[in-house]
Amino acid sequence: MELDKEKIEIGMIERFVDLKGNRVLEVGCGDGRLTLLFAGESGELIAIDPDDTRIAEARRNIRGVDFRIGSGEALEFEDESFDLIIFTMSLHHHTDCALALREAHRTLKKDGMLVVLEPAVDGETQRFYHLFADETPAIERALGAINGSDFNLEQHEIFYKNWVFEAKEELYSYHFENYSSADYDAGIVSDMNKLLGEKINDKPVVLRDKLEIFSMRREP
């Protein structure tokens, strides 16, 4: 499986903000898929995630980044510590999205920038994920928290990236291995086939992931 081979995500982030020379915090880095692309651009990069297994994997594979276990709801950093904070598909995973944004506001320098990437609830890949766990309420909470935050919204854009699977069988295995603790469920496979529609026999199967990106500034 290839995810965003064209590097659309990092391209969008670099369009919205300047990474070079800045002290950057990535919230929700996971195994470091995007962190790897930030690492060569920012002046200093700290990346946090609550999953100790994924942090350990990121540490093994990526050099020059300060990986730590942590949550956006309780940042361990002093006030006005960062030039830039990036939530990479992670804000909706916080129990209290508004608190996570307040923590980002506290730890950003005056005139600092916040970038938030979030999945769109009606995106093609998100509809597959919703067969395992419907994130619609969580994503809506995240968007509500953004709208109600103390940041000044500067830019907001919808964009797309591709997920490429060799065939439908790889798509099935990827989703069950990553999103389910059970063996294949015939009902879910049937629902996946319905979502695939005319793509069901494509080789490769290409899904379009719909994302939203927000850039916000802390007032000076």
Q: Is 57 a member of any domain?
A: yes
In percent, the amount of the chain with pLDDT more than 70 equals: 100
Q: What tens digit of pLDDT does each residue of 169-191 get?
A: 999 999 999 998 777 899 999 99
Tally: H helices and E strands in the chain: 8, 8
pLDDT at residue 40 above 90?
Answer: no
Q: How many domains does the chain have?
A: 1
Q: What tens digit of pLDDT does each residue of 13-24 get?
A: 999 999 998 999
**Joined tokens for residue 95:** 């129990």
Using DSSP's 3-state secondary structure scheme, residue 167 falls into: coil
CATH number at residue 61: 3.40.50.150
Q: Is 192 a member of any domain?
A: no
Q: Is 200 a member of any domain?
A: no
pLDDT at residue 116 above 90?
Answer: yes
What is the signed CA dihedral for 56, 58, 62, 64, rounded to 10 degrees?
-70
Q: Is 205 a member of any domain?
A: no
Q: Is 175 a member of any domain?
A: no
Rounded to 10 deg, the angle between the 168-179 and 186-196 helix axes is 130
Cα–Cα dist 87/190, whole Å: 34
Cα–Cα dist 85/107, whole Å: 9
Q: Is 92 a member of any domain?
A: yes
Domain boundaries, position 67: 2-120+135-161+210-217
